[in-house]
């Protein structure tokens, strides 16, 4: 292995779902900085176009597409157009998610469907479509976004946690099925990250600070801090990593976090 080039992605095509903001935007920026051509896709077409424009202004390579990961036809169209323009898809990063915070006994069926439709079905649809391309290529890296909520939960997070645990098993199944043809599939599991999804918490200092105190580093992550782990999983530096869950949580899942006893 050329260790100087292990983390480089020069010449590779990276499709990033959810690139208009948050972790998706950070992923697109990080992948482009490592040399990839970033296809910035999002339901918010204006936002994904802004991400692509900023990458190009900074000397990177990118373009944008409108994408609704919950619609099979939209996913198929984006994947088809990307392959038509660029021949291959070497990297997929899928980040879209939604959360309805309320106790499960108060959930409506429509709310439950909303969370599962985006978080689980959306990831399935795009991973399946890109997986078919990568299977034919006999190479590629798929990176799905799970969460610390795949292993630890709190009141009001039941449906969201179920989808994030489901994403892990989806990724593991794909890793098992696609490994023989050279395609790797992994998950990033963030802790508390400042994104549009968590913005309501930031406006409540007691809640925000309580979450910060739950991890070993005592703070929230920025979305940009997710880019490095994503680039790692996309690159040859992780060539023997598949079916894995990389927790990027400031130590949240490693420590108790609730109380420092006098020892």
Instruction: Give backbone dihedrals phi and psi of 28, rounded to 5 degrees, phi first.
Output: -60, -45
Determine the Cα–Cα distance for residues 94 and 75; give it in Å rounded to an integer.
12
- Evaluate whether residue 261 is within a structural domain: no
Strand segments (E) across the chain:
13-17, 37-42, 61-66, 91-94, 140-145, 183-190, 193-194, 221-222, 245-248
- Evaluate whether residue 94 is within a structural domain: yes
- Evaluate whether residue 259 is within a structural domain: no
- Can you give the pLDDT at residue 29? 98
- Evaluate whether residue 256 is within a structural domain: no
> What's the Cα-to-Cα distance from 96 to each of 31, 100, 195, 197, 203, rounded to whole Å?
17, 14, 12, 10, 22
- Can you give the pLDDT at residue 30? 98
- Evaluate whether residue 8 is within a structural domain: no
- Evaluate whether residue 257 is within a structural domain: no
- Can you give the pLDDT at residue 257? 66
Burial of 260 (0-12, 13-18, 19+ CB in 10 A): exposed
Q: Which domain holds residue 149?
A: 13-247
- Can you give the pLDDT at residue 259? 55
Q: Provide the CATH number for the domain around residue 70.
A: 3.40.50.720
pTM for the structure as a whole: 0.95
Q: Considering its fold, how many domains does the chain have in total?
A: 1
Question: What residues of the chain score a pLDDT lower than 50?
Answer: none
- Can you give the pLDDT at residue 198? 83
Burial of 245 (0-12, 13-18, 19+ CB in 10 A): middle
Exactly one of 160, 208, 211, 240 is catalytic; name it. 160
- Evaluate whether residue 234 is within a structural domain: yes
- Can you give the pLDDT at residue 3? 83
> pLDDT by residue (tens digit) across 243-261?
999 999 999 999 976 656 5
- Can you give the pLDDT at residue 59? 98
Is 208 annotated as catalytic?
A: no
- Can you give the pLDDT at residue 60? 98
Quick check: 87 and 60 in contact, CB under 8 A?
A: no
- Evaluate whether residue 253 is within a structural domain: no
- Can you give the pLDDT at residue 261? 53
């Amino acid at each position: 292995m050329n260790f100087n080039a292990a983390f480089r992605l020069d010449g590779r095509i990276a499709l990033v779902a959810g690139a208009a903001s948050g972790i998706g935007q950070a992923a697109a920026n990080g992948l482009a900085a490592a040399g990839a051509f970033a296809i910035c896709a999002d339901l918010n077409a204006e936002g994904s176009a802004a991400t692509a424009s900023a990458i190009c202004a900074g000397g990177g390579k990118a373009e944008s597409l409108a994408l609704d990961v919950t619609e099979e036809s939209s996913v198929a169209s984006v994947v088809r157009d990307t392959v038509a323009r660029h021949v291959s898809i070497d990297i997929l990063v899928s980040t879209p998610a939604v959360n309805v915070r309320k106790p499960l006994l108060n959930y409506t069926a429509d709310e439950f469907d909303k969370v599962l439709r985006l978080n689980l079905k959306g990831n399935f649809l795009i991973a399946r479509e890109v997986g078919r391309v990568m299977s034919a290529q006999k190479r590629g890296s798929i990176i799905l976004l799970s969460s610390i909520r795949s292993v630890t939960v709190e009141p009001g997070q039941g449906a969201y946690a179920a989808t994030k645990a489901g994403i892990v098993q989806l990724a593991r199944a794909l890793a098992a099925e696609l490994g023989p043809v050279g395609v790797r599939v992994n998950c990033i599991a963030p802790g508390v990250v400042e994104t549009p999804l968590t913005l309501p918490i930031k406006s409540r200092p007691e809640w925000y600070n309580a979450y910060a105190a739950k991890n070993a580093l005592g703070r929230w992550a920025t979305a940009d801090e997710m880019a490095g782990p994503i680039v790692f999983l996309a690159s040859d530096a992780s060539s023997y990593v598949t079916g894995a869950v990389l927790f990027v949580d400031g130590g949240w899942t490693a420590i108790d976090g609730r109380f420092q006893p006098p020892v």
